[in-house]
Structure 1
């Protein structure tokens, strides 16, 4: 299922906001260019979506899952032996910030964020979207990377890296409620979300636990870790493992009827 929304979907004054943003962007770009700072040269301020006038400002945030608490091992006599003993930093997802900013603030997604940068997929999750991101945590990324000689981030494996990460980015704004409604409309059967490179990512409700499960074309499944997190340009999920895209194989007429 492929759901696409307009680039500027919020409010009646989207056209006015776009024009105002363009004027302010050009003014800022000209001012900064005049300063001679090379770091600002070529910046396209008209696409600074995370601070756009179309983004509704919100103070709401939710704590993202992490495993830093479990990594801390107290000393035998009970005396603190690490700063973690005093404080485990919260990793917050802010509803008025885009996907790329929120995942960059998660220690649990540091490997995934690095992989997104290597694959050069940041423009998609930093733009207006909307996209639903099924981010892979560090432990799962490490297991996945070990399956490729030299690691998945090696230049020789860039094609596979881009395809795998593209399978974690689905078109549309799919929070839990939207997914369950779509599955219900499909008579309880799994639905398919169109991902960045056209592969379908299946989502179904587990008949045993009632939780949402991700599924590829080979029937392999992946569980979600916690709830969904609203973003200014979509929705963020944490997964518990990595799920690989499986190319859809067309079945010939002979095979379809059981002939060899």
Structure 2
């Protein structure tokens, strides 16, 4: 029986997450999200990243801005394994970055801050991925 892939394996194997994978590499976070976990990752698609001005994204990916990039990416991660059914019972969750994300329902969609969850409960060996349509930014970075 083949072992389930990790969160990073799933993201790396899906072209719609190529910008996220590039950012994880630039932030030196691949080994963290490939670790034991469990993690709940609110994973922005390439389309979500395209909503950020190209120069802003390019600037975030520069080595001298690694700490800021790490803050943005870890704001998309919550410790533990939070499935969609559980998420719908919450109003907020503390991120690995340290700040809180707001969780709400809007037109039968789960919202993470201003992002809609567009796919949920993608199971990985070390947690779960929920796909979101917008990159969420921590208040301390905005």
Q: Aligned pair count?
A: 140
Q: Alignment partner for residue 136 of structure 1, among 44, 50, 61?
A: 44
- Is this contact kept in 2: 1:195–1:201, CA < 8 A? yes
- Is this contact kept in 2: 1:144–1:152, CA < 8 A? no
Q: CA–CA distance in 2 between the matches of 1:100 and 1:120? A: 12
- Is this contact kept in 2: 1:166–1:196, CA < 8 A? yes
- Is this contact kept in 1: 2:77–2:97, CA < 8 A? no
Q: CA–CA distance in 1 between the matches of 2:33 and 2:118? A: 20
Q: CA–CA distance in 2 between the matches of 1:226 and 1:140? A: 13
State TM-score, norm by structure 2. Answer: 0.88
Q: Alignment partner for residue 213 of structure 1, among 111, 121, 126?
A: 111
- Is this contact kept in 2: 1:109–1:136, CA < 8 A? yes
User: Does 2:56 match 1:148?
Assistant: yes
Q: CA–CA distance in 2 between the matches of 1:178 and 1:150? A: 35
- Is this contact kept in 2: 1:99–1:125, CA < 8 A? yes
SS of the equivalent of 2:17 reads: helix
Provide structure 2 residue ranges, at least 5 long, that are not aligned to the other structure. Answer: none
SS of the equivalent of 1:197 reads: coil
Relative CO higher for 1 or 2, CA cutoff 8 Å, sep ≥ 6?
2
- Is this contact kept in 2: 1:130–1:172, CA < 8 A? yes
- Is this contact kept in 1: 2:26–2:63, CA < 8 A? no
Deviation of the 1:146 alpha carbon: 2.2
- Is this contact kept in 2: 1:228–1:235, CA < 8 A? yes
RMSD across aligned positions (CA): 1.9
User: Does 2:132 match 1:239?
Assistant: yes
Rg (Cα) greater in structure: 1
SS of the equivalent of 1:115 reads: helix
Deviation of the 1:149 alpha carbon: 7.8
User: Does 2:93 match 1:200?
Assistant: no
Q: Alignment partner for residue 127 of structure 1, among 32, 35, 43?
A: 35
Question: Which structure is higher in strand share?
Answer: 2
Deviation of the 1:197 alpha carbon: 1.9
State TM-score, norm by structure 1. Answer: 0.50
SS of the equivalent of 1:148 reads: helix
